[in-house]
A and B are shown apart, each in its own frame.
Chain A
């Protein structure tokens, strides 16, 4: 199975009966980018990207910490792409919260503030994120490793009443 087929299977397995796909987003982050930002800006970078609850899930230091930051960043970007905000939409990154508190440690998405309102207006009932990183993308040093996350925005299928047209 190639990467595209695997991604398709990942997506199809997530959609429940009665749901429809409203949006899909994908983003790839490079660990080196988070490493540089964390080295230059320290906790200020973490505070601008992560909620306090997200920050608490990160490793305390080292490559594991910046890889976690990269994974969060890619997930937030992927979710944002499903919602397609306008250039003027207020979008503080901690308002798109990704926490590993789903079944079996699965990541769940919680939106706050404007992102939550935008999702509600779009009829989004559920948001999912999945790590679809290429297993071959890890570099020996870790710096050049990339992390790819895909997000799905799911809504309810229209009822018969909603789909029928007046005769």
Chain B
């Protein structure tokens, strides 16, 4: 788990997720949907992550679970960068 990647994901969440809490203050395992992120906001988060990391999410990763936590997003980003 890269600290830099997590920090960049938190910044994207701050801009696009619409969370009730400060993304800097939540755990990597906290459920983002429970924290106020809507499905529509998760699309914005995905697109922002694609821009930030110059990656593209394939269809098989377009699951709600991919975007449920910071940790799951980090896993996806890492796998797509390999």
- The prevalent SS among residues of B at the interface is helix
Distance (whole angstroms) from the CB of B47 to the closest CB of chain A? 5
Q: How many A-B residue pairs have CB under 8 A?
A: 48
Contacting A37 at CB < 8 Å: which of B39, B40, B64? B40
- Contact A33–B40 (Cβ < 8 Å): yes
- Contact B65–A40 (Cβ < 8 Å): no
Contacting A87 at CB < 8 Å: which of B40, B50, B59, B65? B65
- Contact B62–A88 (Cβ < 8 Å): no
- The prevalent SS among residues of A at the interface is helix
- Contact B65–A92 (Cβ < 8 Å): no
Interface residues of B in 4-53 (CB under 8 A from A): 39-40, 43-44, 46-48, 50-51
- Contact A92–B43 (Cβ < 8 Å): no
Which residue numbers of A lie inside 8 Å of B, CB to CB?
29, 33, 36-37, 40-41, 44-45, 48-49, 73, 77, 85, 87-93, 113
Which residue numbers of B lie inside 8 Å of A, CB to CB?
39-40, 43-44, 46-48, 50-51, 59-60, 62-65, 68
Question: Can you list 23 contacts pairing A with B, beta carbon distance less than 8 Å?
Answer: A36-B44, A37-B44, A40-B48, A41-B47, A41-B51, A45-B44, A48-B43, A48-B46, A48-B47, A73-B40, A77-B40, A87-B64, A87-B65, A87-B68, A88-B63, A88-B64, A89-B64, A90-B60, A90-B62, A91-B62, A92-B59, A93-B43, A113-B59
